[in-house]
Amino acid sequence: MPSDDSPDAESEWVETWKAHASAFDRVKSVTMTLTESRPASWIAEEAAVSPNTARDHLDRLINLGVVTATTVDGVRHYYPDPLYTRLRDVRELLEETTKQELSEQAAQLKEEIAAWKTEYDAASPDALRERAAADDISADEAYELTQVASDWELVQYRLSLVQDAFENYDTWMSGPSSLTV
């Protein structure tokens, strides 16, 4: 992907993205969807900004507690701050859900996990992934097992968020300033 400083013509989709998202928003979005830490140069290229612009915005995101940085082989790498994303998710639940609804959601999520355990005779998503990797499993079966494992992991995470929100509901919802992160 060409950067701001590139003399090359940009793809039409890059122009559309730039017309509807600021450089800061693009840098933030690229960084918040990482599954492994990346250097500023990589993020800059993907967000269609110059490396210096990316570093400036990443520094700001670090100061805001949104992004963390680590050094890998002498190069600074960036990754979403897991604590920030978790608190953001819990806060969204608190804002959109009553305490009774949280309890109902927890029950429903647990029922889904129980159903997967029964249907696939598996104790965990990892067991499904191990099964998917077996030599005698067809590609279709492996795909289904991988999808279910991923859904299971997602539901486990959602359940942990719902439990956090429920357990701290009275404290965090007790005043208008209590939700400030």
Partner 1 sequence: MTEEYDASEGQADGSPLSRRPQCESERIRTDGGSSPGPDRHRIIRELRGELARHPAVQAVEGKPSNEYRELRATVAPTWFGRQTEEASLRVAWIPDPSPGPETSDRASDAWMRTPIRAYYTVHYSESSGFDCGFHCEPNPHVDGLLHYQERDGTDTAYTYEPVSLSARSVSALFWEVMDGLSDRLDQL
Between 27 and 176, CB nearer to partner 1: 27
Between 95 and 110, CB nearer to partner 1: 110
Nearest distance from residue 139's CB to partner 1, in Å? Answer: 5
For residue 116, give the amino acid letter.
Answer: W
| CB 129, CB 146: distance < 8 Å | yes
φ/ψ of residue 79, rounded to 5: -160, 150
DSSP assignment, residue 11?
Answer: P
Nearest distance from residue 50's CB to partner 1, in Å? Answer: 16
- Helices (H) and strands (E) counted in the chain, each on its own, are 9, 3
φ/ψ of residue 21, rounded to 5: -145, 135
Between 35 and 177, CB nearer to partner 1: 35
Nearest distance from residue 24's CB to partner 1, in Å? Answer: 13
